[in-house]
Amino acid sequence: MYVYSLAAVSRLEYGYKEREIDYMKEFLAINESTLIVDTEVDCDLYVKSLVNGIPRYVLFSRGGEMFRSDRRRKLVENNITKLYVYANSYKTFNDYQEQN
């Protein structure tokens, strides 16, 4: 049996939440509607999934792949309106939007 002081538990929880917030800052949300069918998206696209209340980002499409109608259909069928890109890829995504 482990006994933790209340202060130790608070520090553990605070550190955990801090890491979770930092992880979330690595991704930026984009609207699914900004993607044009049959165009090449130059950055990785992710969907957000909650696992035990903790956000996880799952690769949906690799950068350089064509965004096809079957991919949009999967998003619509699963009621997904937001996708996510790495924050450092956001400029690449903005370039994609400007070109399309």
Q: Is residue 9 assigned to a domain? A: no
Give me the number of domains the chain comprises.
Answer: 1
For tokens 């939440």, name the residue.
Answer: 17
pTM of the model: 0.73
Q: Is residue 56 assigned to a domain? A: yes
Q: Is residue 2 assigned to a domain? A: no
Q: Is residue 34 assigned to a domain? A: yes
Q: Is residue 6 assigned to a domain? A: no
Q: Is residue 33 assigned to a domain? A: yes
Distances (CA, A) of 2 to 5, 8, 9, 41: 10, 12, 12, 50
Report whether pLDDT(1) > 50: no
Condensed to tens digits (0 to 9), the pLDDT of residues 11-51 reads 444 444 444 445 556 899 999 999 999 999 999 999 998 88
Q: Is residue 4 assigned to a domain? A: no
For tokens 């933790």, name the residue.
Answer: 4
DSSP assignment of 13-31 equals HHHHHHHHHHHHHTEEEEE
Q: Strand, coil or helix: what is 6?
A: helix
- Domain extent at residue 63: 27-99
